[in-house]
Amino acid sequence: MTEPISIDIWSDIACPWCYIGKRNLEKGLAEVATGDDAPEVEVVFHSFELSPDTPVDFDGTEIEFLAGHKGMPADQVRQMLDRVTGVAAQAGLDYDFDNLKHTNTVKAHELLHFAKEQGKQREMKERLMAAYFTEGRHVGRIDDLVALAEEVGLDAAAARDALESGRYLQAVRDDQAQAASYGINGVPFFVIDGKYGVSGAQPPEAFAQIARQVWDEHRATPA
């Protein structure tokens, strides 16, 4: 029995390149998902906060946040966001930075750990990123997060208890500590089988290639 490929992904809900990278990975894996020799893959998402000092309710636009955070002129930030929007469109994502609600993402990361225990991490990750980047939904407040959790089939009361208790905060911090131990200082970052690191939103064909390569390694290794 061949062991599945493990793909551990460090990313942030509020990282536009992370959503693009996620979609490109999915497309790449879909390219190699047919046939008797199709790779088996297990994907796990890990927490990384790009701006942990961000308030839950940031009073301003995404342009204002980035201009202040990065010290860039507003027109340069707009050009950067337009470029990202174009790349996202190529990945099939319709980013709406004008209506995006910038927020602190730690509670969203806690929710992802709760969802993982319920076998719904993949669905929760997709729902959070779509809500944030394409729908203008708030992903920093508990009430909003509970509503999104319910949309993917999680129990609302259990999700609220998980967030209000803060019992998954240590899991978030453990992910961040592991990222530091790996030397990860930017996301998205993909770790394949605990030994190959892939940085950035690579194109689908790059993910397809590495999936085939690593799967061939698995099949060549006796179980």
Which domains are present in the chain? Answer: 5-220 (3.40.30.10)
Model pLDDT for residues 80-94, shown as the tens digit of each residue: 999 999 999 999 999
Phi, psi of 8 (to 5 degrees): -100, 125
Q: Residue 141 pLDDT more than 90?
A: yes
Report the percentage of the chain scoring pLDDT > 90. Answer: 92
pLDDT score of 157: 98
How far is 14 from 177, CA to CA, in rounded Å? 19
Answer yes or no: are the C-beta atoms of 43 and 22 closer than 8 Å: no
State yes or no: pLDDT of 2 exceeds 90.
no
How remote is the C-alpha of 191 from its chain's centroid? Answer: 13
Residue 223 has pLDDT above 80, yes or no: no
pLDDT at residue number 69: 82
pLDDT at 211: 97
Whether the pLDDT of residue 168 is over 90: the answer is yes
In this structure, what token pair is assigned to residue 214? 């690593």
Are the C-beta atoms of 142 and 159 separated by less than 8 Å?
A: no
Confidence at residue 22, expressed as pLDDT on a 0 to 100 scale: 98
Please say if the pLDDT value at position 222 is more than 80.
no
pLDDT average, residue stretch 105-112 = 98
Q: How confident is the model at residue 20 (pLDDT cuts 50, 70, 90)?
A: very high
**pLDDT given at position 14:** 97
User: Could you tell me the pLDDT band of residue 209, with boundaries at 50, 70 and 90?
Assistant: very high
User: CA 127 → CA 4, 88, 123, 147, 154, distances in Å?
Assistant: 25, 16, 6, 11, 12
